[in-house]
Amino acid sequence: MLLNHFQIYEITVDMQKLRVIADRYLASGIGDGSINDTESGQFRALLEKVKRECPPLGFQQTSEIAESIAGRPTPAGYRELSIELAHLGDSLGRELKKEGIFRIHPDRKKYFDQTNLFGPEVTAAFPSCTRDIQKTGSCYALEQEDACVHHLMLVLERGLKALAKTVGLPAYHHSNWHTLIINVETQMKTLPGGAQLNFYRDVTAQFGFLKVAYRNHSEHAHDDPYDMEKAGNTQGP
């Protein structure tokens, strides 16, 4: 499972800030000078952040080192502070080398791991789609274009099955889109006319268009794969 490592970035930034301060005092020949209350508080806050954020990401060794450091008195001087930060940073560096880190472009960061990608109304109306909505956005953020469209089609398929149930058809689990759409069109002929029926007809027509334009193309082998622009267009404006 892909995990968001942004917390580790924040930890490394905080750690580097303290190391710059400690190294500056060491370079000035006053490494044994007492650290002030602000830097002491920042160091303690850093340790707590490491203990909190590292275990869920699998950086157990670094978390244990932070816990060990936190159990000792706060470093009295900058030399000791520099040593503790070096231990912590070396451990985090070793554990990060074992990871595969993916960069998400700033323009696509908002799509990653989002359950409300299509708005809270859709999430509330179709809770069974939450996983595939989340996967749609995450795959788009990571430039996995075909996977993005695949999960989006699974979202739409649940909508199509909901439509079939609404017009009075039995629950479908494994029927293909073509069969579902034909059966929905047939069933609608038995329903009374009116605005509701017109709405069902419009929605069914949209599913027919989506089947030909996107679903068939995404679920079969072809030599015209989706690129980022096409994948983005399938998600709407």
Phi-psi region of 61 (alpha: psi -120 to 50; beta: other; left: phi over 0): alpha
Span 136-141, mean pLDDT?
Answer: 92
For the entire predicted model, the pTM comes to: 0.66
Q: Is the pLDDT higher at 189 or at 225?
A: 189
d(CA 25, CA 55): 32
Return the top range by mean pLDDT from 7-11, 50-54, 111-115. 50-54
Please state, in angstroms and rounded to a whole number, the distance separating the CA atoms of residues 101 and 92. Answer: 14
Nearest to 39 by CA among 90, 75, 89, 84: 75
pLDDT score of 117: 92
What CA–CA distance (Å, rounded) separates 143 from 141? 6
The predicted structure's pLDDT at residue 195: 95
Helices (H), 167-227: 177-188, 195-210, 216-218
Handedness of CA 66, 68, 73, 77 (dihedral sign): negative
Top pLDDT among 192 and 236 is at: 192
Question: How many alpha carbons lie under 13 Å from residue 30 in its C-beta half-sphere?
Answer: 7
| Cβ–Cβ under 8 Å, residues 55 and 63 | yes
Q: Per-residue confidence at 176, pLDDT binned at 50, 70, 90?
A: confident
* pLDDT averaged over every residue in the chain: 89
| Better pLDDT: 36 or 229 | 36
User: How far is it, in rounded angstroms, from Cα 184 to Cα 14?
Assistant: 58
Torsion sign over Cα 213, 214, 217, 220:
negative
Tell me the β-bridge partners of 34. 77
Q: What residue ranges do the domains of the chain occupy?
A: 6-97, 109-234
Cα 150 from Cα 214, distance rounded (Å): 9
Give the residue-averaged pLDDT of 225-237. 68
Query: Of 106-115, 159-168, 228-237, where does mean pLDDT reach its minimum?
Result: 228-237
pLDDT tens digits for range 48-65 = 999 999 999 899 999 999
Q: Measured at the alpha carbon of residue 214, what is the angle toward residues 212 and 217, in degrees to the nearest 5?
A: 85
> At 229, is the pLDDT very low, low, confident or very high (cuts 50, 70, 90)?
confident
pLDDT at residue 230, as a whole number: 67
Residue 160 CB: number of other CB atoms within 10 A?
A: 23
Residue 223: predicted pLDDT:
67
% of the chain surpassing 70 pLDDT: 92
Confidence of residue 104 (pLDDT cuts 50, 70, 90): confident
Q: What pLDDT shows up at residue 94?
A: 95
- Predicted confidence at residue 216, as pLDDT, reads 83
Q: Is the pLDDT assigned to residue 237 strictly greater than 70?
A: no
Task: With a cut of 80, say whether residue 102 has pLDDT above it.
Answer: no
Contact 216, 207 (CB under 8 A): no
The amino acid sitting at 170 is P
